[in-house]
Amino acid sequence: MQGGCTGFAPAFRAALLKNAHTPMAGQETATDTAQDLTGRLTGRLTEVALGYQRTLLDNPRDPRALAGMSLVALASGQAAAAIKMASAAVEVAPAMGAAWVTLGQASKAAGRAEDAERAYMQAIRLDGMNELARLGLGELRLAARRPDDAIREFELALRRKPSLEAAHLALGNALSFTGRYEEALERYGQALAINPRLPEAEFAAGFALARLGRPKEAEARYRHALVQRPDFAAAWVNLGSLLREQGREAYAEAALVRAVELRPDMIVGWINLGLLERERRNSAKAEVHLRKAFQLNPEQVETHIAWCQFRAAERDLAGAWGWLRWALERDPDQPEAVNMLGILLHAEGRYAEAVNAFERAEALGHNAAPSNRGNTLLDMGRMDEALAAHAEAVERDPLHCGARYNLALTELRLGDWERGWAGYEARFGFREVHRGPRVFQQPRWQGEPLEGRRILLHAEQGLGDTIQFCRYATMVAARGGTVILQVQPPAEPLLRSLAVVRAGQAVTAVLGKDLPEFDLECPLMSLPAVFETTPDTVPWPGPYLAADPAHAGEKRLRFPDVRPSPQPGQHSLRVGVAWAGNPRYKADSQRSFHVKTLLPLLRLPGINWISLQKGPAAAQLSALPGSVFIWDGSSRDRDLAETAALVATLDLVITTDTSIAHLAGAMGRKVWILLPHLGDWRWMQQVETTPWYPTARLLRQPSPGDWAGVLDRVIGELIGFHLAHFKPAFQRFAGTPGMGESRNSRLISPPL
């Protein structure tokens, strides 16, 4: 999504039933119930089975022995045999409630939910407070996504038998399902008070703690569960998922690999391994893991959704649609599938349909869908509705970092910086922005007096962000300490020109290299929150970055004017251009274009064009026709200080939303920034100036994707700009073929 990595919230990111093995009733508690009925069979199945067999030799119709053998079969994973034995028990003793409960357990294990419900209901008719029947019925209700009904059944079971640990555990799971995690933790505590060595309760508590944003405690609970039960594959999956969310990818991989070693048939383990490799941009490995998940169960909807997301991440929309259609055919009401429907519709520009899909996903209980709807409304220009949608997403799930981040970006975009900067801190928990945020032992600086301490200000995102926010170093140093500016290698030589560095109050350092000692730390992009920046208080001390004059002179000689000045004694107009940003940026396709798009501009006479483009897009210069001349000024630059030396020789810079825009603005040079219809959050909305760079003009697409409309306006603006420099030149522009009076007359506006 455009707008500072504003992101959709797909499956396996934080949804309740996706990226972790959820402590749902029926996964672990069914075994507990069976154990209650047989005096805890686990560990002595053979002994118990032989005892029941001896009883049956004497009396083949002994109902207790038949029910017991059913439970032995159930504990051994033989659901069909369990049903056969339990059916025989209820036939012999139709008034025996325990036999009906056993039949219910066996039917549930076999996936025969309706048969299981009939059996439990018969047990309840025989004894309305049968706690085991209530427990089993509650598990069915929870599996059917009816948590309120499940909670009622579990509470009835506990009313009869308060010491039933399985009911406490199941009630906690139902509360977790509804997002009542604090209450769920209380129930898991009750289960552990009854049985301190209950790994299922530790596991479930870990899940609830993770959802409450308490990852250290969650990790400890998962590890407690694994100490008690080292072969607990679901706990290995959840631990791996938690570690992945923290950016501890090597440890996450080890945990997930252990899970699938223990349970090669555990689909959620393979899906999570696929997600991990997808995030590592290792598509081949991700595909291997997803294929394994699909082979295990070609009908499982969650696997189809994982494939859909993978294909979408690979920008294969056709493939994503194929997998999504399979998922929706199997379960048209699966919340994540409906959410993905909205995401794919949005990707195709079908915004109204996407909004409808997200609304339906919300109705089905998808907590992140309102945030996704907000992103679509932004693209539709419905800003107030978008803000309300993002706020709703946060209200539904206050701990969802993606939703909080999207809300913050929308608030910043709309000028509510008081709330926006505070919420922007959620980016550190949002994997689409920070896969592995840096962790320091030193405390985060909150704006207090430094009193001689050394503070590390470190870059965290792109080069443009570093240029934009390094201005705060002066304000930090004014709090009485020494600043260490740790930035990307291409930016470090440039930042030596900061006044605070030249004055000796700050030093520069390079990311990835050893750091001097420091006492406090703060990311550069957190400084606006620290200083409570508003649009009226953006620090602008004047141009704060500069080029070395000698290097600028060298650049002026290296890239001389190729067109004569229209007036003797003056230089001709020198304009720098850049058209593409970092292709790894998620929304780069919205902000960047091919150099050929600039041809109507580059054909204007009387202008010396100099490319400031870096990276792979600089090679596009060779695609320009021979009739257009443009210097390749920056593709071989070693760092931004070299580029700054060239920018210092220019009259104007015209660029898309790239680091070049920030560089020119920070140097106080005139810069026109070409923006998509929905620009990045920092440029706000419906304004043509920005408090960040007073010499900048913001020229936006009149409609999504309309770069031609932007360039039409740029041509008119450039004519006015040229006229301000060389008045006689306008006559030649007005008579140029292909630049008719109708277009120019409506595009001319006062010069910058």
Q: Is-contact 199 229, C-beta < 8 A? A: yes
pLDDT at residue 450, rounded to an integer: 96
Token pair of 23 as six digits? 């402590």
Kind and range of the H or E run holding 689: none
| Residue 672: per-residue pLDDT | 97
> Based on the number of CB atoms within 10 Å of its own CB, is 236 exposed (0-12), middle (13-18) or buried (19 or more)?
buried
Res 721: pLDDT: 84
3-state SS, residue 437: coil
Separation in Å, CA 377 to CA 390, 393, 702: 10, 14, 17
pTM confidence score:
0.81
pLDDT tens for residues 648-674?
Answer: 999 999 999 999 999 999 999 999 999
Contact of 640 with 646, CB cutoff 8 Å? no
Three-state SS across 602-645?
A: HCCCCEEEEECCCCHHHHHHHHCCCCCCCEECCCCCCCHHHHHH
Of 688, 710, 676, 692, the residue nearest 4 (C-alpha): 676
Give me the count of residues in the chain.
Answer: 752
Give the model's pLDDT for residue 727: 57
CB contact burial 622-656 (16+ within 10 A = b; e otherwise): eebeeeeebbebbeebeebbbbbbbbbbbbbbbbb
pLDDT score, position 7: 47
CA 181 to CA 173: how far, in whole Å?
Answer: 9
Distance from C-alpha of 103 to C-alpha of 116, rounded to nearest angstrom: 7
The count of other CB atoms within 10 Å of the CB of residue 42 is 12
Closest Cα to residue 223, out of 208, 210, 206?
206
- What DSSP state is assigned to residue 445? P
Tell which residue, 151, 155, 131, 132, has the closest CA to residue 142: 151
Q: What is the 3-state secondary structure (H, E, C) of 141-188?
A: HHHCCCHHHHHHHHHHHHHHCCCCHHHHHHHHHHHHHCCCHHHHHHHH
Interval 343-394: pLDDT, tens: 999 999 999 999 999 999 999 989 999 999 999 999 999 999 999 999 999 9
Contact 213, 182 (CB under 8 A): no
Residue 609 φ/ψ, nearest 5 degrees: -95, 135
Could you tell me the CA-to-CA distances from 590 to 305, 347, 580, 604, 703 in Å, in that order? 26, 12, 10, 26, 12
- Structural tokens at position 547: 């080029």
Written as six digits, the tokens of 334 are 């699966």
Helices 335-347 and 351-363: crossing angle in degrees, nearest 10, is 170
d(CA 287, CA 513) in angstroms, rounded, equals 35
CA R_g for the chain: 32
Dihedral of CA 107/112/113/118: which sign? negative
CA distance 320 to 342: 12
User: Which tokens go with 706?
Assistant: 């309309």
Half-sphere exposure of 451 (CA within 13 A, CB side): 3
Q: What is the bridge-based pairing of β-strands 671-675 and 652-656?
A: parallel
Burial of 384 (0-12, 13-18, 19+ CB in 10 A): exposed
Give the chain's residues under pLDDT 50. Answer: 1-20, 23-42, 728-752
For residue 236, give both structure tokens: 């290995």
- The amino acid occupying position 672 is W
pLDDT the model gives residue 30: 36
Which of 687, 746, 688, 686 has the alpha carbon at shortest distance from 720? 746
**3-state helix, strand and coil shares in percent for the chain, rounded to the nearest 5:** 55, 5, 35
Any idea of the CA torsion for 44, 46, 51, 56, to the nearest 10 degrees? 140
| DSSP H or E segment with residue 520 | strand 520-523
